[in-house]
């Protein structure tokens, strides 16, 4: 361990890396009732800590090895570190990346001069391919985590945290994939601050280090989740496991929703957007505070990466509120009768809705899919009880993965046969799209302004986080009341478009 301490002190990382700030997180600190700091490794030139270890390993290679070139296997951040280091050192770099790697990381590696080879779906498949090419082409393999010099390079983060902290933090939270980052930080911090806890964080579906420490030997996972692709490793390193076993105090596992919520938390404090693996430590910090009821502690979370496809933000934004338990999803049962929807809206009049999907069905009862903002889990349970007590049986879907990923986008179907027959000759289903100012109560005001004799056959609303709300409404209007409908539209004051002849409506609704 003395050797690791010396390696970290001698590590050459600042030719390419910068000393990143240890920034306070005021919003998160206030919410958690602890002092929270973020170690901003997302501010590195490649938006990740990985270049520290890569450069420290490569700068110590003999000249003849550099002339032949290097090869690495990586989901992206280590790849960028190797590519940038190779450009600085003037050597060739070949990077084997999983086919699932976000496009932003592939483009970044190529922009740095790296030769990208896409192979397999996990780090382990890439590693095998890289080793094969290494032997065939005489390249030097730069391991992303299980190399003493790589570990030492990452350990300089611990050295910076110590230098930047006025007093030792109570705990440092570190994302864990193969283990290089937490091995380096713990190898340094525990030598000088033995009372400071070093806590690893993994996704629940990629918890190789958690299982390995529990079993006392390295465990290889049969499969790993790919949401936090930067830590999607089936087996931790030999060196990293040995160091973690000696110096890591505990492991915390978190789910996808918690990671998404942590991305939002960091954005609110810094206006920076971390990738899922980059926000992993912050998600674990929050989980540990809740599990142990921590208060008044000095806590550091290592924000270790910010390489993410822009397109993933849609999914993250949807799941962040669920991760914070500030959104709930329900299946609510109502009588299939005129006025039922209005009565339900009265029950929800003081709530901000995020989603509302309804389609008229056969039978005497109908199911409505609702997303609604809540304050916490207790508020969610209270809302279920409130709806049930008012005659609207309610199923809580907030923890239902199928509902969260698929069902919320699938509610629909065609007008029931009985309703079509009832409309024939007397009324018709009209489909309209509306836009209105997004403010509390605006959606409910729209519903209650509809004439009681008009049956709503379709209703879909989704909060897009914008100033303008959008809804689609299908109504059954008797022909004798068409003038009244026209007058209603004119007096409403909202922008609207008729979609009754839209081919998508004809095909699916």
Q: Out of 141, 170, 186, pick the residue that ends a domain.
A: 141
Q: Tell me what pLDDT residue 354 has.
A: 81
Helix, strand, coil % in the chain, rounded to nearest 5: 45, 20, 35
The pTM of this model reads 0.81
Under a CB-based contact definition with an 8 Å cutoff, are residues 298 and 167 in contact? yes
Q: Where are the beta strands (DSSP E) in 360-478?
A: 365-373, 394-396, 427-437, 455-462, 468-478
Examine the domain organization and report whether 226 and 342 are in the same domain. no
Quote the mean pLDDT of the chain.
88
Please check whether residues 439 and 475 belong to one and the same domain: yes
- Does 490 score more than 90 pLDDT? no
Q: What is the mean pLDDT of residues 463-478?
A: 75
Question: Mean pLDDT lowest for which of 203-217, 268-282, 300-314?
Answer: 300-314
Which of these, 463, 458, 464, 470, lies nearest to 508 by C-alpha position?
Answer: 458
Q: Are residue 288 and residue 342 in the same domain, yes or no?
A: no
CATH of the domain at 121: 3.40.50.1100
pLDDT tens across 6-61, in order?
A: 999 999 999 999 999 999 999 999 999 999 999 999 999 999 999 999 999 999 99
Using CA atoms, how far residue 337 sits from 146, 209, 322, 369, 443, in Å, is 65, 56, 32, 17, 20
State the pLDDT confidence band at 468, using cuts at 50, 70 and 90: low
Higher pLDDT, 127 or 193: 193
Rounded Cα distance, 53 and 35, in Å: 29
Do 394 and 441 fall within a single domain?
A: yes
What is the pLDDT at residue 466? Answer: 60
What band does 336 get if pLDDT is binned at 50, 70 and 90?
confident
Is residue 33 located within the same domain as residue 65? no
The residue out of 96, 114, 141 marking a domain boundary is 141
Mean pLDDT highest for which of 237-251, 335-349, 370-384? Answer: 237-251
How many domains, the chain?
A: 3
Supply the pLDDT for residue 229.
Answer: 85
Would the pLDDT of 112 be above 60?
A: yes
Angle 445-469-472 (CA atoms, 0-180°, nearest 5)? 80
List the domain range (segments joined by +) for residue 284: 2-47+148-320
Between residues 102 and 184, which one has the greater pLDDT?
184
Which residue among 112, 141, 170 closes a domain?
141
Query: Phi and psi of 323, rounded to 5°?
Result: -65, -30
pLDDT band of residue 357 (cuts 50, 70, 90) is: confident
Say whether pLDDT at 171 is over 70: yes
409-431 pLDDT, tens digit each: 666 677 777 766 666 557 778 88
Structure token digits, residue 220: 């290889």
Mean pLDDT for 457-461 is 82
């Amino acid at each position: 361990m003395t050797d690791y301490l010396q390696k970290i002190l001698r590590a050459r990382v600042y030719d390419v890396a910068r000393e990143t700030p240890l920034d306070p997180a005021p919003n998160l600190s206030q919410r958690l009732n602890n002092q929270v700091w973020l170690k901003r490794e997302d501010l590195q030139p490649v938006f990740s800590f990985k270049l520290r270890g890569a450069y420290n390993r490569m700068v110590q290679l003999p000249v003849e090895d550099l002339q032949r070139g290097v090869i690495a296997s990586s989901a992206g951040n280590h790849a960028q570190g190797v590519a940038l280091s190779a450009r600085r050192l003037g050597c060739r770099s070949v990077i084997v990346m999983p086919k699932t790697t976000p496009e932003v990381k592939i483009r970044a590696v190529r922009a740095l001069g790296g030769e990208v080879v896409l192979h397999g779906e996990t780090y382990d498949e890439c590693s095998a391919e890289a080793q094969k090419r290494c032997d065939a082409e005489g390249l030097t393999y730069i391991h992303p985590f299980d190399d003493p010099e790589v570990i030492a390079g990452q350990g300089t983060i611990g050295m910076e945290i110590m230098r930047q902290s006025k007093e030792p933090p109570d705990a440092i939270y570190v994302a864990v994939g193969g283990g290089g980052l937490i091995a380096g930080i713990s190898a340094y911090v525990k030598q000088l601050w033995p009372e400071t806890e070093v806590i690893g964080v993994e996704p629940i579906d990629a918890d190789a280090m958690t299982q390995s420490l529990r079993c006392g030997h390295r465990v290889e996972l049969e499969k790993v989740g790919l949401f936090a692709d930067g830590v999607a490793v089936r087996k931790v390193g030999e060196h990293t496991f040995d160091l973690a076993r000696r110096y890591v105090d505990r492991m915390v596992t978190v789910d996808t929703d918690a990671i998404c919520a942590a991305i939002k938390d960091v954005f609110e404090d810094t206006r920076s957007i971390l990738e899922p693996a980059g926000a992993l430590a912050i998600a674990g910090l929050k989980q540990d505070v809740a599990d142990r009821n921590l208060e008044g502690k000095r806590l550091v979370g290592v924000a270790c990466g910010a390489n993410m496809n822009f397109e993933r933000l849609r999914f993250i934004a949807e799941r962040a509120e669920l991760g914070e338990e500030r959104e709930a999803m329900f299946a609510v049962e109502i009588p299939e009768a005129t006025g039922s929807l209005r009565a339900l809206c009265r029950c929800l009049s003081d709530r901000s809705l995020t989603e509302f999907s309804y389609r008229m069905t056969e039978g005497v009862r109908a199911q409505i899919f609702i997303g609604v903002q809540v304050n916490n889990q207790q508020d969610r349970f209270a809302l279920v009880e409130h709806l049930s007590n008012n005659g609207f049986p309610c199923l809580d879907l907030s923890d239902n993965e199928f509902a969260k990923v698929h069902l919320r986008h699938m509610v629909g179907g065609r007008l029931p046969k009985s309703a079509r027959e009832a409309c024939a000759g007397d009324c018709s289903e009209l489909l309209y799209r509306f836009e209105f100012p997004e403010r509390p109560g605006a959606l409910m005001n729209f519903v209650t302004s509809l004439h009681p004799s008009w049956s709503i056959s379709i209703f879909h609303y989704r909060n897009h986080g914008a100033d303008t709300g959008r809804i689609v409404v299908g109504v059954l209007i008797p022909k004798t009341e068409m003038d009244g409908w026209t007058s209603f539209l004119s007096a409403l004051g909202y922008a609207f478009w008729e979609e009754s002849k839209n081919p998508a409506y004809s095909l699916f609704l």
